[in-house]
Structure 1
Amino acid sequence: MSAAPSSKAGPTAEARTDDERTDDERTDSGSAGDGWSDDDRSDDGWDDDWTDETLALLRALRAPHRRNRAKSVGFAVYCVVLILIIWGGVPSLGLFLQASMGADYTGHGGDLLAAMPAGITAIGLVTFLLLVRDGLWRGPVVPPRAAADWLLIHPVRPRPVLRPWFWLSCAVAAFPGLVAAVGGMVALGLTVRAGLPAALGWCLLGGLCVPLLATCAALVVERSDRAARWVRRLTPWLTLLIIALAGQSALAVAGHPVRWLELVEMWSGPWGWAAIAALAPTSAAVAGGWVAAALLLVSTGAALVLADRAAATVPLARLRERARTAAGVLAALRTVELRSARLAVNSANGSARQRRLRLPAPRRAWLVVPWRDTLALLRSPARLGRATVLTVPALLCAVLAHGAAGALSWLATAVALTFGYLAVAQLLEPARIETDDVRRASWSPYPFAALMLRHAVVPTLAGVLLGLACTGALLAAGTGPAAWLAPAAAPALVAAGLVNACRGVLRKDLMFSPAQGAGGGTGPLLFAAWYAAGPAVGVAALTPMFSSALRGGTVVPVGKAALMAVVVAVLLLRWAQARAAKMSRVRPGESTL
């Protein structure tokens, strides 16, 4: 590669190798910065362009690898399509056959139409939020490390190298939208008897345009530090807005719609235009459906054109950083190191940044651990924010369980407890940091097991305070004594999180045990049961009593459920203590069998 340019151009400063250039030439050409000069970022003005020859050579050299990769991708696509056909296509066909023989599903049509305005708007906002958050650490333009570290520093135009990765991200983002559009067609065809071609066409507008627009927005976030800062600032508020929209959708199904507010939400942006398009083939169509469709198509087309041009302008230093992060996260996921993957993502998108706050040092030794945990929580307010946000769906599911009966009440209670566990788990990061490497606990005068129990104090108090806030809201709504179950569940859920924090080295042998045969058998299920043992046991133990107390609503079942929660909390804490003691006796890297 180094000798080839001389056959096309003379020994100019651009054609000489980097070692032959002077310091001034290196600075002017951009090699001391991100690898590209301002002129190099465009496709014009290249005096020494070897892009076509380089890419042709790479295609020839990598042909065997590309064939193997194409086979792997084809097999993955085949498996996904097969699963969709088995679990989606065949049941849908059966429902349509039953409808042709007289089965009536239109009784659910009114609820579906009532839920769609706010519900689809919430789904659209979720799509935007997920994809722009992805742009904080990965982004739609993420070439492999070989391309970012080696290929792009050579005399090749970045546009032909980077554009395919942007369009690949667009295709990956659009696929779930396509599946959702087909699901919407089936739902509308069964419940409101809408024409299937019209329902599919209108649902495809939102299902494809919204993820494509969100991918273009993610490219802006990837290129601009200012946009990334705005995304970080707005994420908590957007999350609260999404939860509010989900609650509004549930209230609409319950018979309390707010029509003027739904119209404002649906016309607020692309996330709402998708709802207008989905309602167009139904009896609840909103005036201006064709306008919303035109806005979606025009904005998506314009955004894709601009993003296609901007895909080649991402700084090379940023591409290298994103490629390394993506490779690290993928390696962690392949080895089932979920915490390592989460830490890598948080470090890359700025979530790991802490504020410099101080608290007065405690005067008593037993307050040191709670003081450190409180200081860590105050310096990372995002964790407390996530805990608060996750409390809202837990509260909504508890309200649903209060008015339900039978299996639905059990299911809603289990989901409420699961969200409650996820909320308090956000507060247990100091305990997880200690268990990442037990040598970090050498500062503590306590045995490791006793130290881990002390790490449960601050999360328990914070969880009880969040529960009391929920109790106040429920009592104001006239729920009754069942509202006191919210703070009663906090200690048991914190103890369940502490059990998970003390699980030690990952038991990958459960998943890949050769004794289970080539197919793996129940290995993944055994690994999942071991991985989530604490919350699984806690939720399963609390669900029966809490469901009964929520349905009964009187003092006696509520008291029994609270007592059960205390017993479960004590047992889980003993389990966590035993796990922590076993961890302290094992050298780092060994399995805690």
Structure 2
Amino acid sequence: MSRPEVVAGLPAPAKGEDTGTNAAARADEAPDTAATDAEADFEADFEGEERAADWTDDDDWTTEALALLRALRAPHRRNRAKQVGFAVYCTLLILVIWGGIPSLGLFLQASMGADYTGHGPDLLAAMPSGIAAVGLATVLLAVRDGLWRGPVVPPRATTDWLLAHPVRPRPVLRPWFWLSCGLALFPGLVFAVGGMVTLGLTVRVGLPAALGWCLVGAACLPLLGVCAGLLVQRSPRAATWVRRLTPYVTVLILALAAQSALAVAGHPVHWLERVELWSGPWGWAGIAALAPTPAAVPGGWVAAALLVVPTVVCLVLADRAASTVSLPLLRERARTAAGVLAALRTVELRAARLAVSSASGSGRQFRVRLPVPRQAWLIVFWRDALSLLRAPARLGRAVLLTVPAQLCAVLAHGTRGGLSWAVTAVALIFGYLAVAQLLEPARIETDDVRRASWSPFPFAGLMLRHAVVPVVLGVVLAAAGSAVVMSAGGGAEAWLAPVAVPALVAAGLVNACRGAARRDLMYRSSQVAGGGSGLAVFAAWYAAGPAVAVPVLAVPFSGALRSGSLVSFGQAAVVGLMLAVVLLQWAWSRAGKLPAQARPGHVGQL
């Protein structure tokens, strides 16, 4: 391949006598060979196969190509720098307003005699298992990102055009790896500063020592996660192992979170915490964070060294491996990332989630058969049950999300006042997320109402029938969790969990029937002194079901959990059933409008 084919308009290099003119002359002398090579290159690129570079050092135009691109992209780069600078300014402003100023106020109050050390023992009890859970979740999110995107994902223009020319991939791909490292490091810095403030107020630890020890884990864990994500991006075998181990790691994270909550409640298991702290980088970060506190674990400097040294080694190895990602894979990931970003910009969150699941291989189907019912009215329930059985990941997520819901309900039983209401609301949110996993058949119907053409029922009636299987499965899961709580010594209020299921399923059905995204709400809302309220109005419309169900249920359920009386239990049950009826009526009304909105020529509200 000759150098004039590299980048149109590039000047000839000063080195050597083998210029583009000589190469063009050689191509004129052998037109048949050049045509054959061009056809072969086109076919290889069309099939997505990676070809070995057939160019020498004399054909290397990497430096000249990147210099030309920098010159051509200078106006765009200046505009992009302004956008990035504005985003950084807004982020820092939010952190200062919502984090820096309140923290400064707390320290001023502490200097004037306010005592926050009463929360210190609970914090120290929660830190070993809690930090291990957060660290393991950080690594899991990083490696899951490598399944569909990865740390090395240049824009589509770079993958489709620039890397197809004879340029060295390392100068092109390496900056994107380090950009991913910087983006991953920023949340770690924020968490380190938050840990410094929390330890300084509750444990009275020196701020420089607290920041330094917290920064060890908060900086190393995200960087290790980025390196692991690059390994998953490059290796299909590593990606397969990540898919297999994700459910088990998720269960382990929830178990660590539950153990942290039990430790706060006064039931720590010290020997198990020691095992967790030394089990890996997620535990070493906890040892480092505990080092300046009274609950320090022996070996803090060893844990810090075990974090820092492997992180440096992994970064060096990943820096070398960043340029070895195959071009077909980069093209595929760049297209997926562009599609997800476009969906997010248009506030199509479901489209973005489906794109990520499809690219990461999370939507695998299993061939499961159920006997076909003889009665026609059972066919909808048969289809819903079959679709959930063929996607067991959704059932697994529903089971996993039921655990924190029950745990938060247990914690709400032992709290008082506004804290009890807040913990009950968190329990209801987890419960909603659990039953929402079972409503995927209803969401698939509303994605394209033409899919419901097989049904003899009106579309609104069909959507109400889609709520039956989630209610039954949700009640079974909630009853199983309540039975576990009762066997562990809980009271009769544990049976409130099944009572909340119909209302939460109805709330999910309201969301499933919302129709096309009402982006006009973000621009038609009134302007207030602090800015427009459009985003809040859109969020209220987007999450209308749970936004109504959770506050309404939280008040009576919180009272029933605190009192434990039969009267309060009955009141909570009546409120839950009445709310379920109201939400189902709302979902029926929304669903009835969807077929008309999907007709050709229909114009939605603008």
TM-score by length of 2: 0.92
- Partner residue in 2 for 1:591: 604
Following TM superposition, by how much is the alpha carbon of 1:542 offset from its aligned partner in structure 2, in angstroms? 1.3
SS at match of 2:34: coil
Moved more, 298-307 or 550-559: 550-559
- Partner residue in 2 for 1:340: 351
Q: 2:505 aligns with which of 494, 498, 503?
A: 494
SS at match of 1:286: coil
Moved more, 169-178 or 257-266: 257-266
What is the identity, as a one-letter code, of the residue corresponding to 1:54? A
What is the identity, as a one-letter code, of the residue corresponding to 1:544? V
Given that 2:526 and 2:534 are in contact with CA atoms closer than 8 Å, whether structure 1 keeps it comes out as no
- Partner residue in 1 for 2:524: 513
**Cα shift readout 1:437-489 (whole Å, capped 9, x = no counterpart):** 11111111110011101111111111011011111111112222211111111
Q: Distance in 2 between matches of 1:442 and 1:285?
A: 65
- Alignment of 1:355 with 2:366, yes or no, is yes
- Partner residue in 2 for 1:485: 496
**Cα shift readout 1:393-427 (whole Å, capped 9, x = no counterpart):** 11111011111111111111111111101100011
- Alignment of 1:20 with 2:34, yes or no, is yes
- Structure 1 pair 385/457, CA: closer, same or farther in 2 (3 Å)? same
**Cα shift readout 1:94-119 (whole Å, capped 9, x = no counterpart):** 22222222222222221111111111
Given that 2:406 and 2:482 are in contact with CA atoms closer than 8 Å, whether structure 1 keeps it comes out as no
Moved more, 247-256 or 158-167: 247-256
Q: Distance in 1 between matches of 2:207 and 2:598?
A: 62
Q: Distance in 1 between matches of 2:260 and 2:57?
A: 56
Following TM superposition, by how much is the alpha carbon of 1:555 offset from its aligned partner in structure 2, in angstroms? 2.4
**Cα shift readout 1:248-282 (whole Å, capped 9, x = no counterpart):** 11111222221111111111111111111111111
Following TM superposition, by how much is the alpha carbon of 1:283 offset from its aligned partner in structure 2, in angstroms? 1.7
- Alignment of 1:151 with 2:162, yes or no, is yes
Given that 1:29 and 1:37 are in contact with CA atoms closer than 8 Å, whether structure 2 keeps it comes out as no
Following TM superposition, by how much is the alpha carbon of 1:567 offset from its aligned partner in structure 2, in angstroms? 1.3
Following TM superposition, by how much is the alpha carbon of 1:154 offset from its aligned partner in structure 2, in angstroms? 0.4
Listed as ranges, the gaps of 5+ residues in structure 1 are none
- Alignment of 1:448 with 2:462, yes or no, is no
What is the identity, as a one-letter code, of the residue corresponding to 1:462? L
Q: Distance in 1 between matches of 2:570 and 2:605?
A: 38
Give percent identity, aligned residues only. Answer: 70
Following TM superposition, by how much is the alpha carbon of 1:359 offset from its aligned partner in structure 2, in angstroms? 1.3
Q: Distance in 2 between matches of 1:124 and 1:277?
A: 12
Following TM superposition, by how much is the alpha carbon of 1:241 offset from its aligned partner in structure 2, in angstroms? 0.8
What is the identity, as a one-letter code, of the residue corresponding to 2:536? L
What is the identity, as a one-letter code, of the residue corresponding to 1:443? W
- Alignment of 1:201 with 2:177, yes or no, is no
Q: How many equivalent pairs are there? A: 588
- Partner residue in 2 for 1:278: 289
- Structure 1 pair 129/17, CA: closer, same or farther in 2 (3 Å)? farther
Given that 2:526 and 2:532 are in contact with CA atoms closer than 8 Å, whether structure 1 keeps it comes out as no
- Structure 1 pair 541/69, CA: closer, same or farther in 2 (3 Å)? same
Q: Distance in 2 between matches of 1:89 and 1:401?
A: 30
Q: Distance in 2 between matches of 1:259 and 1:501?
A: 45
- Alignment of 1:457 with 2:468, yes or no, is yes
**Cα shift readout 1:212-262 (whole Å, capped 9, x = no counterpart):** 000000001111111111111111111111111111111112222211111
Following TM superposition, by how much is the alpha carbon of 1:20 offset from its aligned partner in structure 2, in angstroms? 2.1
Q: Distance in 2 between matches of 1:99 and 1:18?
A: 84
Following TM superposition, by how much is the alpha carbon of 1:7 offset from its aligned partner in structure 2, in angstroms? 1.2
Following TM superposition, by how much is the alpha carbon of 1:29 offset from its aligned partner in structure 2, in angstroms? 12
SS at match of 2:120: helix
- Partner residue in 1 for 2:187: 176
- Structure 1 pair 29/7, CA: closer, same or farther in 2 (3 Å)? farther
Q: Distance in 1 between matches of 2:32 and 2:48?
A: 14
Given that 1:370 and 1:458 are in contact with CA atoms closer than 8 Å, whether structure 2 keeps it comes out as yes
Q: Distance in 1 between matches of 2:461 and 2:126?
A: 50
- Partner residue in 1 for 2:261: 250
SS at match of 1:66: helix
SS at match of 2:329: helix
- 1:218-297 superposed matches below 5 A: 218-297=229-308
Q: Distance in 1 between matches of 2:48 and 2:285?
A: 39
Following TM superposition, by how much is the alpha carbon of 1:66 offset from its aligned partner in structure 2, in angstroms? 0.1
TM-score by length of 1: 0.94
CA RMSD of aligned residues (A): 2.4
What is the identity, as a one-letter code, of the residue corresponding to 1:279? L
Q: Distance in 1 between matches of 2:40 and 2:292?
A: 61
- Partner residue in 2 for 1:119: 130
Moved more, 375-384 or 102-111: 102-111
Given that 2:402 and 2:430 are in contact with CA atoms closer than 8 Å, whether structure 1 keeps it comes out as yes
What is the identity, as a one-letter code, of the residue corresponding to 1:290? W
What is the identity, as a one-letter code, of the residue corresponding to 1:331? A
- Structure 1 pair 494/19, CA: closer, same or farther in 2 (3 Å)? farther
Q: Distance in 1 between matches of 2:391 and 2:33?
A: 46
- 1:351-430 superposed matches below 5 A: 351-430=362-441
Q: Distance in 2 between matches of 1:169 and 1:306?
A: 15
Q: 1:166 aligns with which of 161, 173, 177?
A: 177
What is the identity, as a one-letter code, of the residue corresponding to 2:604? S
**Cα shift readout 1:91-144 (whole Å, capped 9, x = no counterpart):** 112222222222222222211111111111111011001111111111100100
SS at match of 2:520: helix
What is the identity, as a one-letter code, of the residue corresponding to 2:130? G
Q: Distance in 2 between matches of 1:93 and 1:163?
A: 40
- Structure 1 pair 244/366, CA: closer, same or farther in 2 (3 Å)? same
Given that 2:117 and 2:202 are in contact with CA atoms closer than 8 Å, whether structure 1 keeps it comes out as yes
Moved more, 16-25 or 324-333: 16-25
- Alignment of 1:104 with 2:118, yes or no, is no
Q: Distance in 2 between matches of 1:28 and 1:332?
A: 31
- Structure 1 pair 341/432, CA: closer, same or farther in 2 (3 Å)? same
What is the identity, as a one-letter code, of the residue corresponding to 2:72? L
What is the identity, as a one-letter code, of the residue corresponding to 1:192? V
Listed as ranges, the gaps of 5+ residues in structure 2 are 13-17
**Cα shift readout 1:487-529 (whole Å, capped 9, x = no counterpart):** 1111111111111111111111111227648986211111111
Q: Distance in 1 between matches of 2:275 and 2:40?
A: 55
- Partner residue in 1 for 2:585: 574
**Cα shift readout 1:540-591 (whole Å, capped 9, x = no counterpart):** 2211111111112132221221222111111111111111112123334642
Q: Distance in 2 between matches of 1:514 and 1:461?
A: 40
What is the identity, as a one-letter code, of the residue corresponding to 1:20? A
**Cα shift readout 1:73-100 (whole Å, capped 9, x = no counterpart):** 0111011111111111111122222222
What is the identity, as a one-letter code, of the residue corresponding to 1:182? V
Given that 2:525 and 2:534 are in contact with CA atoms closer than 8 Å, whether structure 1 keeps it comes out as no
- Structure 1 pair 566/140, CA: closer, same or farther in 2 (3 Å)? same
